[in-house]
Amino acid sequence: MKMNQPMIKVVSSGKYVPSTLITNEDLEKLVETSDEWIMTRTGIKTRHKAVDELTSEMAVKAAEDAIKRVNYDVSKIDLIVMATITGDQMTPSTANFIQAKLGLVHEVMSFDINAACTGFVYGLEVAAALLQTGRFRAALVIGGETLTKIVDYTDRNTCILFGDGAGAMIIEPATQERNKAYFFNAARGDLNNTLTVVSKIKMDGKKVYQFAVDAMQQAIQKVLDDAGLLVEDIDMIIPHQANERIIQSVSKSMSIPMEKFMLNLSEYGNTSAASIPITISEYFDKNETKNKKILLVGFGGGFTWGSAILQL
């Protein structure tokens, strides 16, 4: 079946991370671990921790960064999609709080998505599809998490991984073929006891690793095939920042140079739904992005996984 690909314009990107750091040395004081052990197995050096700061507050700061970058007219924003597993409360949605804190008093469709670490890619596809209806002028898509509040700091296998932060993107509908976006998102419910959050994060690391490598490869190849592109046509792959060894395994098995993957997990750790948009924002900061193609790929609890190709 031939799909109608949405055409979207990426207007801007932004990020926010709290200033408080959790270092590997800090974790050495809490559990039996070491900087060398953590770096060797994950590639993570530090993570950021929100102190007296809500997920919505971080999300607003990331959104404001994206808005200020291009001096965007916020009256155009009439859709907010927030990806998070650590929202401020069960209801109203964190997106509603973001709308209020941004001072958007006009009518805005605002809601949250929970697809764990794949949440931002899910959110982008949902927002892109809604923009194609012609009913909306601009979407603000955000991934934000305060994961440190649900980390078990007695579990050395998980407490070393997670940090807090938020990333945002503003997108508008487009009409040019060059602005076609391609998405692939999926889930497998039979693996949902491998990575769960009831009150604290619990994870079977080996099973997650095996799933993640396979899922990332599948998602990369699927979205490339759908777009009729090769890896060589992509300027940068922006993966979910979970574990450097997972990305190295994907790089090796797919014969993709590691230089093609943008990594920042050494500083931020795994920020779940925030990791991809934070990395996109840093890509904007460090590169001339005009006419560049980026491939996003993520995986998360559920299990969920997905990918996207965007024209910048």
Q: Annotated catalytic, 179?
A: no
Cβ atoms within 10 A of the Cβ of 52, count? 6
By 3-state DSSP, what share of the chain in percent is helix, strand and coil, each rounded to 5?
40, 25, 35
Q: Annotated catalytic, 159?
A: no
> What totals of helices (H) and strands (E) does the chain contain, helices first?
9, 13
Cβ atoms within 10 A of the Cβ of 76, count? 15
Give the active site residue among 24, 48, 96, 117.
117
Residue 35, classified by CB atoms within 10 Å of its CB into exposed (0-12), middle (13-18) or buried (19+), is: middle
SS3 180: strand
Q: Assess contact for 273 and 213: CB atoms under 8 A.
A: no
Handedness of CA 173, 175, 179, 183 (dihedral sign): positive
As a whole number of angstroms, the distance between CA 166 and CA 17 comes to 6
Give the active site residue among 24, 179, 240, 243.
240
Q: Annotated catalytic, 270?
A: yes
As a whole number of angstroms, the distance between CA 209 and CA 212 comes to 5
As a whole number of angstroms, the distance between CA 149 and CA 199 comes to 9
Ramachandran angles phi, psi of 14, nearest 5°: -150, 170
Q: How does DSSP classify residue 244? A: H
As a whole number of angstroms, the distance between CA 118 and CA 298 comes to 5
As a whole number of angstroms, the distance between CA 123 and CA 159 comes to 27
As a whole number of angstroms, the distance between CA 240 and CA 140 comes to 20
Residues involved in catalysis: 117, 240, 270
